[in-house]
Amino acid sequence: MSLIDVTVNEILNENHAIVGILASPMTIHTKLYEIELEGKGIAVLVPTEKQMEIIEESIRNVISGKTSSVLRTQIVHIADTLTKRGAEAIILGCTELSVMFAGEHDSRFIDPLTAITRKLLP
């Protein structure tokens, strides 16, 4: 089972036409989500290069066991900019971002870990 496939199916089920992606620069540059989403007719918005640097710093902090309310606030701000650009939903495209926002509910966020858990454990 693929996190990407499950996430794309959830987006299709929710009828989103435009989604944003919060993910590492590598995930963004390899277009892991974009290829599948655009193939299904869903437009994809990505952060700017500067925003990706902030996201990468946040991911590295989570990996090292550090979380920062400042970085969380910056990630939410990046999500806000994607929403202002037209994103109807925001994919948390790295597991570290899922960890960062665990237990919080932002209706815009689509968490691939939560989506696959729902699929595997209905």
Q: Residue 92's domain spans which residues?
A: 3-120
- What is the overall mean pLDDT for the chain? 92
**pTM to 2 decimals?**
0.92
Cβ-contact 39, 7 below 8 angstroms: no
pLDDT tens by residue, 30-54: 999 999 999 999 999 999 999 999 9
pLDDT tens by residue, 90-111: 999 998 998 888 877 788 999 9
Cβ-contact 81, 51 below 8 angstroms: yes
The predicted structure's pLDDT at residue 69: 81
Report the half-sphere exposure of 19 (CA within 13 A, side-chain side): 31
Long-range own/partner contacts, residues 51-54 (CB < 8 A, 24 or more apart): 51/78, 51/81, 52/24, 52/25, 52/28, 53/25, 54/78
CATH of the domain at 23: 3.40.50.1860
User: What is the number of domains present in the chain?
Assistant: 1
The residue whose two tokens read 């696959």 is 116
